[in-house]
Amino acid sequence: MLKNKDSIIRLLPEVNGKYVENEPMSKHTWFAVGGPAEVMFYPADLADLSNFLKHKPYNLPLCIVGAGSNILVRDGGIPGVVIKLDTPAFKEIKIGNNQITCGAGLKNIELQKTLLKNNLGGLEFLCSIPGTIGGSIKTNAGCFGQSVKDVLISAQIINGNGEVYDLEPEELKLSYRSSFFPEDWIVTALTFKTTPATYADIQKILDEQRAYRQKNQPYNERTAGSTFKNPEGLRAWELIQKSGCAELKIGGAKVSEKHCNFLINTGNATAKDIETLGDTIVEKVKEKTSLTLEWEIKRIGVGR
């Protein structure tokens, strides 16, 4: 790879994976918006990632992304290096005694094939959540009455110094849509408990959950899931609706007609359109109810 004298790649360690300069983040997010990553790094495996972290410049800005299903990248892009665990080494699945270990880069929906083939129940809910396995733990992702906290046995992480650890669930302090996660930690694999189940029973649950989402949430649209966390004992969508925000639109961004806690890129939205729409909803809900909605979608990068 040729290293431009102005490129930060010349400061980065040699790796077995791949560096890509000025990678459009709109290709890596469900909103399909956002400026470029200064450098995107695809590590070949855990050893390659560890080597990179051990030898990178000490003040290098780092960001980790998965499927991009729950992030909004601002229009100015992301400075530094964006790490994406998208190689086969980070998508491996290992089955044990009433447990399964999944690489962080595995998409949640891809897990269902393994569950059906091996008659493993208890993780159907996870298959219906957009995103990757690694991303599911940081927000303690959940739906249909279950969350990652309920099924997690252990998490393998690597810190900013390239050191690998296995952590117990209690060390992560998982709670509603949150966890204890230092900024320099990267999830590399998760181990979940499973329960014996028949193919038919697993398929029935998967079908029911898919049908529910298609009926009640925007489908095949450019969105990033629920925009705001539910305040304790309340529903964000009800607060949005009661505050007169259900039909709001800014530029190419609008509130979903099917579920008003979802924001939609109608096709020509900028990240600024989407973020401004979300912030406008926060303001209007606060004016109407005195409650401040908290973003569930993670906003990253710099504006333009």
Report the C-alpha gap between 59 and 82 in whole angstroms: 14
235 tagged catalytic: no
From the list 286, 291, 284, the residue with the least C-alpha distance to 244 is: 284
Active-site residue (options: 74, 226, 243, 275): 226
Active-site residue (options: 23, 124, 275, 296): 296
226 tagged catalytic: yes
Report the C-alpha gap between 23 and 37 in whole angstroms: 5
For residue 283, the Cα-to-chain-centroid distance in whole angstroms is 25
Q: Which two tokens stand for residue 56?
A: 């990178």
Q: Are strands 62-65 and 78-84 parallel, antiparallel or unpaired?
A: parallel
Contact 186, 138 (CB under 8 A): no
**CB-based contacts of 57, cutoff 8 Å, min separation 6:** 11, 12
From the list 50, 46, 90, the residue with the least C-alpha distance to 66 is: 90
177 tagged catalytic: yes
Contact 44, 19 (CB under 8 A): no
Active-site residue (options: 7, 21, 110, 177): 177
Cβ atoms within 10 Å, residue 129: 24
DSSP 3-state assignment of 110? helix
**Residue positions annotated with a catalytic role:** 177, 226, 296
